[in-house]
Structure formats: structure tokens, C-alpha cells
Amino acid sequence: MPDTQKLSKVEAIKEGSRYLRGTIVEDLANESTPFSEADYQVLKFHGTYQQYDRDTATERKQRGLKKEYQCMVRVKIPGGRLSADQYLVVDALAGRYANGSLRITTRQGFQLYGVIKADLKATIADINATLLTTLGSCGDVVRNLTTNPAPIRDAVHTRLEEDARMLARELAPRTRAYHEIWIDGEKVDTGEEDREPLYGSTYLPRKFKIGLSTPDDNAIDVLTHDVGIIALFEGERLTGYNLALGGGFGMTHNKPKTYPRLATPIVFVEPDDLLRAVKAVIELQRDHGDRSDRRHARLKYLVDDKGAAWIKATLEDYFGAPLADPRPMGEFKVVDHMGWHAQGDGLWYLGVPVSSGRIVDRNGSKLRTALREVFESHRTDPILTPNQDIILSDIAPDDRAPIEALLRDHGVPFAEDWSPVKRWALACPALPTCGLALTEAERVKDSLISDIEQALARHGLADELLSVRITGCPNGCARPHNGDIGLVGRMPGYYVLYVGGDFAGTRLNTMLLDKVALKDIVP
């Protein structure tokens, strides 16, 4: 990092936080006030965002009342794999401390909403007690590792899953502050002795996303990651990995220096070199990423500003040896994992679509109750998909009919009940919880998709495979920029309409219209 950079405010907060302690303990003790701005920033690393109910904020202000502060808690689940027992714990927390829903994220994690400050410690402690964590699910570190969700029992899928777990374990923050604050309650040390061998005391310049895929099944949209790892196999033999660097969709309206970008394949690494090579990329970004302007801090800007040749040469310095050029990859495809599929070991998996990833009981569909009963009675392990759906894995042939009947009895729709455009649509949460939302996303998605379905039917295109992705702001959480249709919140009630991405996730879409009113989107 050049010495001349004037550091952003968040850099000073990180530096002064003593490895992510801040004054969270003191702040937690005062339940009647919101977290301070500095602790708000540090809390992200611990996996929680302080939010407020934006639906009630204006009216409450007029009445002289404070905003209704609450926290979103994000659970980090590498590859979206968790056990039935772990699921049931998170489900119980959703009822006890949150708003009665679990939300599957586009990065295979869970989010709980509406947790009040007084319940935050118990929520995070219970998540940890079930051997899940929230540490590093947000903040300027490596976020949740994504990978192919299919529980197919062959060498390819087994390797992807093992790599994702290994990377998640090796790249997790080492600070003891997390256990000190949320679990032990005792000071492990003063902070002086803590070390972050990979990250250092100021962590990374910005969030850092890693995903692991094969060209044959790009369910995770691998090129949207800071490091997109594309595993290359000959049959079931791993030959190595292409690392594509500099993906990311966040941008700011009217700031042309910010933009969505797909990752560029830069190097090929041997099977045994994956961790070392990924650490080298992280170190490169740690030392050279822009710490003065958070809007210019992602790896994608470094890749564009310095160029691929500089990135490769510098990466070789960190890696300590020459690195090969990326190898040819097959055509990228996205496989549909909804419905019933054989795992290859005599067992089955069932992909259940979840609108906007929201597991909740409503509108005649008791999805949350149904899933709870499936996990309680059949102990099948769930997998969260990057398309915000859920897979029920390891189902014995004799259990297929009873599980299907249980879900049907609770009014849970199956993949075949939904049109392709409905099945593949994504929406971020936006209002009323996200503080950055400029307009609605999840809450308008179902009616918008219904209108699009009707329009497609009128033109004889009801079975068209079409991805529609809606976000409430240009931060890009629902990957709007490589969908066939991307809708990005512009201002209340209005969107930017992008078109022309491809279904396999290899092409950015382009802006067709700016400031389109919600009612005009379908026409």
C-alpha cells in the first residue's frame, strides 16, 4: 500500500479495535442505546449488522420516538453444508430471538433478522454451541466459501466440498476476541498478544469473496468472486485449478469509476498448491488494495488499475515461484438441482425451491414447519444453494414418498410447480431491513415475476429459461449484473433495467433503461 494514501475512517476503526474487540462488551451492556458507529463497523466482522425497521422509522420520528434498532445475524456455512441438528438449532433461534424466518443467502449462508441487542449475545452463543459460526461472515475478510451444492458422491464433488471446508478453516480470522465477547465472557488477553498471521491488524481493504466451482456446474457464479477457483478434472482426476481474479458486482450509481466486473483467469495452480496460491492472492490484496476509498477497495479495481501482467508477476512474488498461465476450460453450464436426483451412492437428494430464500410459514405454505418436521423425523442433512434454495440430502429410497407427502401436506411447492422464470429468480432482502436499500426487492419479487410469467405466456415463451435478479441498491447482493434481466434499485419505486447476461454466468448484462418505475418494468 503506498505510504501516501490517506486511509479511510474504517481503517482507523479496524486498527484501533485491538483485533476486533472495539468496545463491543461495554456497548452490549447498555441495551437501551444502539451500538456506536465504531462498534457497528467492528460488529460486521463478528457476523452481525445493526439495522432498524425502515417501515416504521419515519412515523416514529414524527412521534418523537427512536428508530426500532435490531440486528441481522449471518451464519457462515461453507458450501452451505450443515447437519439436520444444526439446522434445527438455527430454526429454533429464528423463533426465539428473530422474526420467525430464516433466510438463505446467495452465498449459501443463513441470515436471521430482527434480533434485538439484548438477545444478540445469546443468539451468537447458541449458533456457536452447535458448531456453526458467524465470525467472518461479514467484514473485511474472506467471507463464506461457496461451492457446488449438489451432494453427488463422486471424486469431483467430494474434492470440491473438502477444498471449500479446508479453505474456510485455513482462512478464518484468528482473533480470540470473538470467543471472548460472545462465548466465554472472559478476557482471553489484552489484545496485545493476538495475531492475525494472514490478515494483520487492519484485515483486508474490503470484503473478499472466494468460490470454488467446475465449468460443468457454475451454480455459484464463480466469476463474481474476488477469487473464482475453477477446478479442472480429467474424468475424476483433479489436474489443478484456474484462479480467476477480480470479480464483484458492487457499484455506485453516477460514479463511473465503480462498476460490476467478472473475474479474469490469471493463473493455473497444481492440486497441492491451492491454499498457498489463494493465500498469496489475499496477501497481494492486503498489501496493495486501496485503503483510502472503500468504493475502490475491492480486488477488481487493483486488477484493472495494474493490469493482469502486473497481478500475475506480483502474485508469483508472494507465491514464491513462477505460476502457469490458466488452462483452457470447458464451456460453463449451470445445472438444475431442484427436484429428485440420485446421489450415486444409493441415496437421493431433493431440491426444494425457496422464494427469495425466505423459510417462513405464510400464504398457505408452511415451509418452515414442514422443513423442521422433515429434519426432526428423517434426519436428512440440508444444503443451502447459491440460488437461495434448499437441498435435502442422503435420503433413503424408502423415505422419498413420506418426505414428499409431508412437504405436500404443508403446501410446499415443488420445482415442477414453478415456471423456470420463477425458479431461477433472485432477490435481495432490501426494505425494510437493509440500511442501504433505495427501494424494494424481495417484497415486490413475487408479484413482478408473476407479471413476467404472464407476459412470457402471452408470447409463447412460458418455458423459457430466464434469470431475473432484483436488488434494492447497486451493491449487487443478488448478482444482478450477469442475469438475463437485472433490476437494480435506483430510488424509491424505480429501477435500472439491465439485459443480456447469460444463464451460465459468463457475460455481464448492459443497461437498457434508467429510472424505470416498478409498474413499467414488465411492459
Active site annotation includes 138? no
3 state DSSP class of 391: strand
Distance, CA of 135 to CA of 97 (rounded, Å): 19
CB of 234 to ligand SF4, least distance (A): 39
Which residues neighbour 358 within 8 Å (Cβ) at sequence distance 6 or greater?
A: 101, 102, 103, 104, 442
Residue closer to ligand SF4, measured from CB, 357 or 429: 429
| First-to-last C-alpha distance (Å) of the chain | 49
Residue closer to ligand SF4, measured from CB, 157 or 490: 490
- The alpha carbon of residue 8 and the mean position of all alpha carbons in its chain are separated, in whole angstroms, by 25
CB of 442 to ligand SF4, least distance (A): 9
Distance, CA of 329 to CA of 27 (rounded, Å): 51
Residue closer to ligand SF4, measured from CB, 103 or 410: 103
Active site annotation includes 477? yes
The residue with cell 473475474 is 263
Q: Which of 179, 309, 180, 163 is nearest to 222 (CA)?
A: 163
What per-residue string of b and e applies to 100-118 under the rule 16 or more CB within 10 Å gives b? bbbbbbbbbbbbbbbbebe
H helix or E strand, kind and range, residue 497: strand 494-499
CB of 488 to ligand SF4, least distance (A): 8
- For residue 470, what are the β-bridge partners? 427, 487
| DSSP-derived pairing of the beta strands 110-115 and 102-104 | antiparallel
Active site annotation includes 103? no
Residue closer to ligand SF4, measured from CB, 226 or 394: 226
Distance, CA of 440 to CA of 432 (rounded, Å): 8
The residue with cell 422509522 is 57
Q: Looking at 76, 143, 312, 445, which residue is catalytic? A: 143
Residue closer to ligand SF4, measured from CB, 60 or 253: 253
Distance, CA of 24 to CA of 38 (rounded, Å): 9
Distance, CA of 70 to CA of 432 (rounded, Å): 11
Distance, CA of 203 to CA of 286 (rounded, Å): 7
CB of 142 to ligand SF4, least distance (A): 19
CB of 138 to ligand SF4, least distance (A): 11
CB atoms within 10 A of CB 317: 11
Q: Looking at 74, 159, 261, 422, which residue is catalytic? A: 74
Active site annotation includes 209? yes
- The alpha carbon of residue 215 and the mean position of all alpha carbons in its chain are separated, in whole angstroms, by 20
CB of 367 to ligand SF4, least distance (A): 21
Cis preceding-peptide flag for 432 (omega within 30 of 0):
yes
Binding residues for ligand SF4, rule: CB under 6 A, are: 428-430, 434, 436-437, 441, 471-473, 475-477
Q: Looking at 159, 428, 445, 490, which residue is catalytic? A: 428
Active site annotation includes 207? yes
Q: Looking at 117, 445, 477, 479, which residue is catalytic? A: 477
CB of 477 to ligand SF4, least distance (A): 3
CB of 254 to ligand SF4, least distance (A): 16
The residue with cell 432490501 is 430
Residue closer to ligand SF4, measured from CB, 351 or 474: 474
**Amino acid letter, residue 100:** G
Residue closer to ligand SF4, measured from CB, 261 or 279: 261
Distance, CA of 227 to CA of 201 (rounded, Å): 22
Give me 323's grid cell.
505460476
Residue closer to ligand SF4, measured from CB, 151 or 432: 432
Active site annotation includes 255? no
Q: Are 47 and 135 within 8 A, CB to CB?
A: yes
Q: Looking at 44, 81, 176, 209, which residue is catalytic? A: 209
Residue closer to ligand SF4, measured from CB, 8 or 475: 475
CB of 87 to ligand SF4, least distance (A): 23
Q: Are 502 and 424 within 8 A, CB to CB?
A: no
Residue closer to ligand SF4, measured from CB, 259 or 340: 259
Q: Looking at 434, 445, 479, 490, which residue is catalytic? A: 434
3 state DSSP class of 104: strand
Per-residue DSSP letters for 138-169? SSSSB-PPEE------SHHHHHHHHHHHHHHH
CB of 12 to ligand SF4, least distance (A): 23
Residue 315 DSSP symbol: H
| DSSP-derived pairing of the beta strands 227-234 and 210-213 | parallel
Task: List, by residue number, the catalytic residues.
Answer: 74, 143, 207, 209, 428, 434, 473, 477
